[in-house]
Amino acid sequence: MPIMVIVYAMNTTLSQVSEPSAIATAARRNTLYFVIYMGIVVSGAVLTYLVWRSGNELQEATRRDADVRIAEATAATTRLQVELSAQQEKTAQAERDLLEIQERLKPRTLSPGQRSQLRAALFAGPKGSFKLWCVTGSEEAQTFALDINNVFAVAGWETNRLVMVAMHSRGLMLMVRGDTPGIPQAVPRIQSAFATIGFDLPITINNDPMIPAGTAILVVGFKPTKP
């Protein structure tokens, strides 16, 4: 019995002595875990901030890159539009040049409407006589002169054989002698008749003895270089 009492007393004493050491250990462990936990929390907060900042930097870099690409695309589009506009202008100019060449090569002729309108204008007033001259060396001018002569004949005017002359005139004109008084009566009639179809006939004064005095001469020259 005395031995058991001693052992019990010793256990009680050891227990009392070891209890403060266990509390301290647990307290240290708890403190350590708390520090670790706070470190993790702080680290998480730092990492969250870093991720947020890097995300913003990525967005800003993406925006700048997009702005650069948009600016490049806009510049390229503008350049293409300028090139396209220039090409369209060249094409339009080429088409105008082609039409001008075709117009120069196309022989002159009176359209059915012009022929009918000219005939009506010549038929409406007093008839007169005139001579029709045509430059030599131009089949186109000769054909056009015969077309005009036919309209005068149908309108009741006195016509004569087409006279071929060596001249270098272009277009249509009226020629009269300048050394005789007055202008032949047929001149204003022919002028006004041709004006109804858009032809302006200038009057040329010529004192060549070959020109009959008091006679209106309608000259058909080479085709004008410009319409």
Choice among 59-68, 111-120, 178-187 with the minimum mean pLDDT? 178-187
Fold of 112-220: Alpha-Beta Plaits (3.30.70)
The DSSP string of 82-128 is HHHHHHHHHHHHHHHHHHHHHHHHSPP---HHHHHHHHHHHHHS---
State residue 60's pLDDT score.
87
Question: Could you give the percent of the chain with pLDDT greater than 90?
Answer: 37
DSSP 224: P
Count of CB atoms situated within 10 Å of the CB of 218: 22
The amino acid sitting at 33 is Y
CA–centroid distance for 50 within its chain: 55
Q: Where are the domains of the chain?
A: 1-106, 112-220
**pTM exceeding 0.75:** no
Give the model confidence (pLDDT) of 100-116 as tens digits: 777 777 899 999 999 99
pLDDT band at residue 45, thresholds of 50, 70 and 90? confident
State residue 7's pLDDT score.
43
State residue 225's pLDDT score.
81
Cα separation, 45 vs 33, whole angstroms: 18
